Amino acid sequence: MVCRSHILICNGTGCVASKSPEIMAKLNEHLAANGIEKEVKIVKTGCFGLCEKGPIMVIYPEGATYCHVSPDDVEEIVNEHLVKGRIVKRLLLGDKDAEDVAKSLENVGFFARQQRVALRNCSVINPENIDEYIARDGYAALAKAVTEMTPQQVIDEIKKSGLRGRGGAGFPTGLKWQFAAQEVNDQKYVCCNADEGDPGAFMDRSVLEGDPHTVLEAMAIAGYAIGSNQGYIYVRAEYPIAVQRLKIAIDQAREYGLLGKNIFGTNFSFDVDIRLGAGAFVCGEETALMTSIEGKRGEPRTRPPFPAVKGLWEKPTILNNVETYANIPMILLKGAEWFASIGTEKSKGTKVFAVGGNINNTGLVEIPMGTTLREVIYDIGGGIPKGKAFKAAQTGGPSGGCIPAQHLDTPIDYDNLIALGSMMGSGGLIVMDEDNCMVDIAKFFLEFTVDESCGKCPPCRIGTKRMHEILERITEGKGEEGDIEKLETLAESIKQGALCGLGQTAPNPVLSTLRYFRDEYEAHVKEKRCPAGVCKAMLNFSIIPEKCKGCSLCAKKCPVGAISGEIKKPYVIDTAKCIKCGVCMDSCKFAAIEKK
């Protein structure tokens, strides 16, 4: 049955959390009440990217995009749009009065500047229906590879495309495949790193939730290229929706014979299994990940030997990130030249970023390499809330660093970010404004690595702990002369001495904030002052008597009863009782409270 209308509704984790399943249930209910349930098809999709405006719903054939849809809006949408054909303008995203609703998004910068390669199917197809993936040329790249190309031709095509690993380090993917293909062994493995662990990053989750088949197809292509018949996807158990959709996808692909024996009637056989990670950050490191797949405690080991030589169960193995795989089918279908035409000289293609922090359009964006940070934050991201000033953007998670305002116009690519003392990382991009304390940010990331250090090597286990202790001292106003230098010495030693990538990069957040915001560290240590007004130990709240009208609002709001006074006379804060929560400052209507 062909339906006259399709309702696409986002079922990414973000929109599920803001009630998209409830909206779908209500849709079913109201469609049935109007007797049109057979004419209208409800399609659940992956992430549209604009999580800030979720849940997002698109109704075809009109192409009307509704945002912030709540279960209470469903009745109106069904009665107006689906029964009477009238667009519900108040819910439209973008230009609410556009003549043609399909064009209401034309002036929405968030979408206009993006180029979707890895996310091409997210939000367009139903991830739980293999047919919709096939309709959008799914598995055509695998068919082409196994029936028309030799394994070496596949590797050459990937090499020529210039694709580099999207997990963070940026190693050339084709080269990695070449190393594994060269090894002579009766068993090789293809692994997928879906152990996305950086705070604030959700690119891989969104690909797995929105387009799981693309990862399976690319892994099969990789298997053909290096001579492997078995793949493993290592995904964290904290991604239940992604895991569920992967399972469905694997079952469907097996049923169609796109995974299994003699794919497309050739001698090539390949299958994929899922391995769940318990959520340890270190398991995103390649050797630890493989150790964990083997069923042992996820701890890293020294390299070489590299996984391409001795990986999973000591067999030659390639490990690529989810987003890297999502690019592979498109490279084979559209050609290496097409892919290499996007991006900068040394960084080809696009990159997906999960944009969060102090930014208006929190969400998932895919941009060509070479786009500037300014475009991402202001044109796509919609700028910083409440008109505050941009201070820095954090990329690369706990292994990366900060990019300050003076480098806003640097084109984003692997090498430029390294030169700025940060890194591409997997794609988390956290925006910070004038109210963020950089010492506090560095402490946050260090705390994360202290928690997540596996403890195998002393530089990481003890070194990061010591660094964190110094940072804690500094933010508590107990910093001593020489602390900053001690941080630097420790950082260098850890970088040189740690066993794996986690430890070697753990000091980066400190080093990069020191590089651009040393004055903030010095203010904390020498003047016992937090310029951004974040570190509570160094703050004191007080009431400016000239501005206070004596309305008593702050006294009523104060949770510890630290404010007292007489009506219509200036109030006072008892600093001994004050817990510095800031409630008084937020509630004062006359801006009579200051923190110093």
Partner 1 sequence: MKSIEELKAIKERALKEISIRENENKVRIVVGMATCGIAAGAKGVMSAFIEELNKRNIQDVTVSMTGCIGICRHEPIAEVYEANGEKTTYIKLDAEKARRIVAEHIVNQQPVIEFTIGAAEK
Query: Which residues would be at the binding site for partner 1 (CB under 8 A)?
Result: 2-6, 8, 39, 60-63, 82-86, 102, 124-125, 131-132, 134-135, 137, 139-140, 143, 147, 256-258, 262-265
Q: How far is the CB of 43 from partner 1 (least distance, A)?
A: 8
Phi then psi for 179, rounded to 5 degrees?
A: -60, -45
Q: How far is the CB of 112 from partner 1 (least distance, A)?
A: 16
- CB of 200 closer than 8 Å to CB of 354: yes
Q: How far is the CB of 267 from partner 1 (least distance, A)?
A: 13
- CB of 390 closer than 8 Å to CB of 433: yes
Of the two residues 264 and 444, which places its CB atom closer to partner 1 in the complex? Answer: 264
556-590 b/e (C-beta count within 10 Å ≥ 16 → b):
eebeeebbebeeeeebebeeeebebeebbbeebee
Of the two residues 6 and 495, which places its CB atom closer to partner 1 in the complex? Answer: 6
CA 373 remoteness from chain centre: 16
Q: How far is the CB of 327 from partner 1 (least distance, A)?
A: 21
Of the two residues 140 and 276, which places its CB atom closer to partner 1 in the complex? Answer: 140
Count of Cβ atoms closer than 10 Å to residue 134 Cβ:
15
Instruction: Enter the tokens of residue 506.
Output: 């753990």
Nearest to 532 by CA among 450, 451, 437, 449: 437
Of the two residues 86 and 518, which places its CB atom closer to partner 1 in the complex? Answer: 86
Q: How far is the CB of 119 from partner 1 (least distance, A)?
A: 16
The alpha-helical segments, DSSP class H, found in 18-79 are 20-33, 74-76
- CB of 327 closer than 8 Å to CB of 118: yes
Identify the three-state secondary structure at position 301. Answer: coil
Is residue 459 reached through a cis peptide bond, with omega within 30 degrees of 0 on the bond before it?
no
Q: How far is the CB of 148 from partner 1 (least distance, A)?
A: 9
Which value, to the nearest 10 degrees, does the dihedral of the CA atoms of residues 394, 396, 397, 398 take? -110
Of the two residues 91 and 584, which places its CB atom closer to partner 1 in the complex? Answer: 91
Q: How far is the CB of 442 from partner 1 (least distance, A)?
A: 46
Q: How far is the CB of 215 from partner 1 (least distance, A)?
A: 18
Of the two residues 125 and 222, which places its CB atom closer to partner 1 in the complex? Answer: 125
Of the two residues 81 and 315, which places its CB atom closer to partner 1 in the complex? Answer: 81
d(CA 571, CA 86): 57
Of the two residues 108 and 308, which places its CB atom closer to partner 1 in the complex? Answer: 108
